[in-house]
Amino acid sequence: MAQPIENPYFIKGGLDIPLALGSGLAVFISAKKFKNKPFLNTDELDALDPTTLRGIDAWAVRRNSIKAQQVSDILLITSPVAPLLLLADKDARSHAGQVGFFFLEVGFINYSLTALTKELVRRKRPYLYDRELPYELRQSPAATSSFYSGHASLSAGYYFMAAKMFSDFNPDSKLRPFVWGTAAIVPALTGMLRVRGGKHYPTDVIVGYLVGAAVGILIPQIHKRKLN
């Protein structure tokens, strides 16, 4: 059986320091904008018309499954376990420092991109169109942070990072289809539950999924070492 590739990555300050600084700045800006965000008044909420929503996003209105929200939260909380499972692989475990570094970098970059985009776009969440819900819920600062889904992006980021690194450490493994399949399915399920719970539109979770997957794959990729 072919031997897995060892130590396929490098960490370089000229690349990682700017990424960290840029992500930190994005988090700072988004936190400041969130703190100063105006809430919607009752007249603005009463004027919202769900019939103005078009295409697949119209499907998200009047969905408020608490169970779906809870399960999506569980999937998000457990998603960081995916890259940590890499440490069960002996070759990845011998480079635990790199695995841990990419784990933090993928999480931080994903969070910063998501948080900043939410505060720049300020899209109204689907549940704002439900007049049966109390004004207090519909006037919270997070009520206008729909685009794009942080649950989908963070889950996809961690799962696709794990799949990418597993493949790089074990290029000939027969488990690769299973690993990539799991990486594709779990974030998609997380996103679907966010729509079912009334927290996001389908386009929110599609964009979040794609951004998270891109970050999870690209961070290990841009750190790859050229091997003979």
Structure tokens at 103: 């784990």
Asked if residue 83 belongs to a domain, the reply is: yes
Burial profile 138-147: b = 16 or more Cβ within 10 angstroms, e = fewer: bbeeebbbbb
In a domain, 58, yes or no: no
Predicted TM-score of the model (pTM): 0.90
Residue 1: what pLDDT?
A: 41
Question: CA 219, CA 228: separation in Å to the nearest integer?
Answer: 21
Q: What is the pLDDT of residues 63-75, one digit of tens each?
A: 888 999 999 999 9
Q: Which residues of 86-112 are buried (b: 16+ CB within 10 A; e: fewer)?
A: beebebbeebeebbebbbebbbbbbbb
Q: Are 46 and 131 in contact (CB under 8 A)?
A: yes
In a domain, 44, yes or no: no
Domain region containing 131? 64-222
Q: What is the predicted pLDDT for the residue at 92?
A: 75
Residue 111 covered by a domain: yes
How far apart CA 31 and CA 166 sit, in angstroms, is 34
Q: Would you say residue 9 lies in a domain?
A: no
Per-residue pLDDT, 6: 59
- The segments of the chain whose pLDDT lies below 70 read 1-6, 226-228
In this predicted model, what pLDDT tens digit does every residue of 94-118 receive, in sequence order?
778 888 899 999 999 999 999 999 9
Instruction: Flag whether 52 is in a domain.
Output: no
Is residue 128, in this structure, part of any structural domain at all?
yes
Q: Is residue 181 part of a domain?
A: yes
The total number of structural domains in the chain stands at 1
